[in-house]
Structure formats: structure tokens, C-alpha cells
Amino acid sequence: MKVEDIKIYGTHEDNTLNQIKRCVVDERVSKAVLCADGHLGYAVPIGGVIGYRDAISPSGVGFDIACGNKAVLTDMKGEELRKNIKPIMDDVWSTLSFGVGRKNNENVEHEIFDKNYPGWSHESVKDLKRMAQGQLGTIGSGNHYVDLFTDEEDRVWIGVHFGSRGLGHKAATWFLKKAGAKDGIDVDPCVLNLNTNLGQEYLQVMDLAGKYAYAGRNWVCSRVAKLLGATVLQAVHNHHNFAWEEEHNGEKLWVVRKGATPARPGQKGFVGGSMGDISVILEGVQSTEGVESLYSTIHGAGRVMGRMEAKGKKNKQGQVVREGKVSQEMMTEWVTRANVELRGAGVDESPHCYRRLPDVLADHAGTINILHVLTPVGVAMAGKDEFDPFKD
């Protein structure tokens, strides 16, 4: 496809635009999209959507295979949540596992770990089952979270964001190395033909990581509902780092979404903002714009400030080499003003580091309907100075 045919939503820095342009040089690409929350990623920008003919890109799916969001509506009322938010967030923080390389405090049984469950025999993951079992239901760090919201009817929702943890990261690393992929940001994406053994193995392992990520998010939402003493009434669940075989304009494509939410007509998605901003439940609509977007939309607000830019940089002796643009006081003031009870999080996750969610949603007008607006009441993320190699 031609560079000028890339569908671009919103405005982006040149380095992000150059990344998506580099992706479409591959002759197997039929269509490409850059969502409004896009920013620089490894080889493929976050917010990038690429439709391949008989091929798939491990670079496009990314290191955090099957990272995604789940939101559940409960029968709890907002008044009760707000009244008890401090002890509730203490329970969330002490019960769940936030941070890098953590094991779940509780033993989680799941059929995915059964002896004959498909996928585990592949070389890329055959030695990872024990690690994956210990990490199921852990949240990690970076921009991964557990949030408690209220909607326009003052109903309580639980929202979570994380992926396949070490399983996905180690599997992605194995495939990229096996395929001889270049390492770095400004490199050509790794693309595997699906008529090869490596391409087929990647599909099966991606599927395994997807089921694992779903299992983890399901467990966390159920565990938080139990902490609340609430019943789950409905759920919205979607990956945003994944690939699906889909038909677009009569052509079968493998659509790789990296930090992008599937949004076919009527398909619901949960999209989170920053810790001091709204989140939404949305659905795709039938429209010309929807067709052009490969039925894809944003997965979040999108970063506008790098982590080091936000928090600054220190040398090995702990001395400040470069001052950060965001202070603890700035973050605390914003979160306090938003009436959010926060646990964890460093200044590199402050709302200052992100676009405003209503702005990027507006860039996708005509492709989605907003079903519910969710206001954060409690937010839990890993603490500052946690580097997480598993984040998206």
C-alpha cells in the first residue's frame, strides 16, 4: 500500500508517523491505521493497526501479548463505595500483587495449566508453565492498574488493565530472536509468513497467551468483586495487543492491533484514561469511517510525555542528572482534585503524562458510541521506581 493511504486519527509526533510509514513498506500490508492515542513503540507505534495478507507481525502484537482491559458492572452503589473507599483500597492493595516478577499471593487453579492444554509443547513456551502459573492474576507495573469507578447512574464498575505477564514477554522475545528481528525502536517490523512453521507456531502461542491473559483479568475482577462483597452483573473484555483473522472489503486479513481496541459494529470495549481522568465503555458503529479504521479505536488516552521526561534521571550514585517535569506534589494535587483514592504509582503515570481521553475519543467520532462514562474513585498501580519489562 502507499504511505499516503494510511488512515491517521489525531495529531502525532514525526517519529510516530515515521514508524507507521515504515510498517507499510512491506508488500504483504493491505491497510494501516494510526489511532489518536498513538505514540512511539518498538518497531510499530502504539495505536498502530496493520492488516496483513497471509502474514503476522510479532513486532506489531508487541512484547505484552494480549495486553487488554476488562470492566465489570457490579450491584454495588457508588455511595457505599465512596463511604468505604479507604479501607477498600487498602484491601485491594494488600490482596493483589502489583510490581515486577511477583507471584500471586493465592494459588489459582485454571484449566489452562492442564497437562494436555494446547500450546505448551512448543519450544518457545515449554519451560514457562511454572512461572506463568505463579504469575496468573498479578497486575505488574507501568500503566497497568486496578480501578474502581462509578458511572452516570452511580453504579460501581471494576476495571483492570494488564496482559500475559512474563509468559507473553518471554515468548515474544523468543520469536523475535528466532526470526532474526532487528532490536530497537526505529527498525523494520518482524513479519512472519503464515505458510511457515514459525508463523503457525506463533499463532498458536499467541492464542495461548491470549487465553492466559483473559484468565488473569477474569480472576482479578472476580477477586475484587469478592472484596467489595458485590455481584458482577455484566462484563466487557477485550485484548488490545493481539491479531485476529478478519474480512475487510471482501479481503481476508490478519489484523494486528498494537494498543488498539477492536470496534466492529455493536462490539463493546473498555477504554481507560489516566488515573485522574474518565474512562469509557464504548461500542463500534457501522460507518464509512469505521470501515476505514479496520473497525479499530483507541485503547487509552495515549502518552504525551516519556517516563524519563516526567520523573527525571538519576545516576548510579542517586544524584539528579536531569530534573523531571512532573513532581509528586503536581500529581497529588491533580488526583486529590479528582477525588481519587490512590495506591502506588509514580509521577511517570501522572495525568500530566497523558492526553485527555475526551479529546482522543472526539478524534474517532463517527466510528464509536459512548455507552457509559466511568469516573475513577479508587486507583491502584505498582509503586514508583518499578521497571516492568512486561508492560505494553
* pLDDT at residue 96, rounded to an integer: 95
Residue 133 has a CB neighbour count (10 Å cut-off) of 18
Give tens-digit pLDDT for 266-303.
999 999 999 999 999 999 999 999 999 999 999 999 99
CA–CA dist 221, 53 (Å, integer): 36
- Average pLDDT value for the chain: 94
Question: What is the band of 1 on the pLDDT scale with cuts at 50, 70, 90?
Answer: confident
Express as a percent the part of the chain with pLDDT over 70: 97
Q: Is the pLDDT of residue 110 over 80?
A: yes
Contact 237, 213 (CB under 8 A): no
Distance CA 145, CA 109 (A): 23
pLDDT value, residue 314: 78
> Per-residue confidence at 140, pLDDT binned at 50, 70, 90?
confident
| pLDDT confidence tier of residue 100, bands split at 50, 70 and 90 | low
pLDDT at 392: 40
What's the pLDDT tens digit per position in 22-50? 999 999 999 999 999 999 999 999 999 99
Cβ–Cβ under 8 Å, residues 41 and 259: yes
pLDDT of residue 391 exceeding 50? no
CATH fold for the domain made of 3-380:
tRNA-splicing ligase RtcB (3.90.1860)
Band of residue 386 on the pLDDT scale cut at 50, 70, 90: low
pLDDT at 390 over 70: no
- Spell out the domain ranges in the chain: 3-380
At 105, is the pLDDT very low, low, confident or very high (cuts 50, 70, 90)? Answer: confident
Q: Three cell numbers at 223?
A: 477477586
Q: What is the CA radius of gyration of the chain?
A: 20
CA dihedral 248, 164, 350, 348 (to 10 degrees): -110
The yes-or-no verdict on residue 387 having pLDDT over 70 is no
Question: For residues 241 and 131, what is the distance between their CA atoms, to the nearest angstrom?
Answer: 21
Q: Is the pLDDT of residue 385 over 90?
A: no
**pLDDT above 80: residue 345:** yes
Indicate if the pLDDT at residue 54 is higher than 60: yes
Does pLDDT of 350 surpass 50?
A: yes
Whole-number Å distance between alpha carbons of 253 and 24: 14
Report phi then psi at 146, rounded to 5.
-130, 120
Average pLDDT over residues 333-341: 96
Residue 101 has pLDDT above 70, yes or no: no
pLDDT in tens, 193-215: 999 999 999 999 999 999 999 99
Q: Are 346 and 293 in contact (CB under 8 A)?
A: no
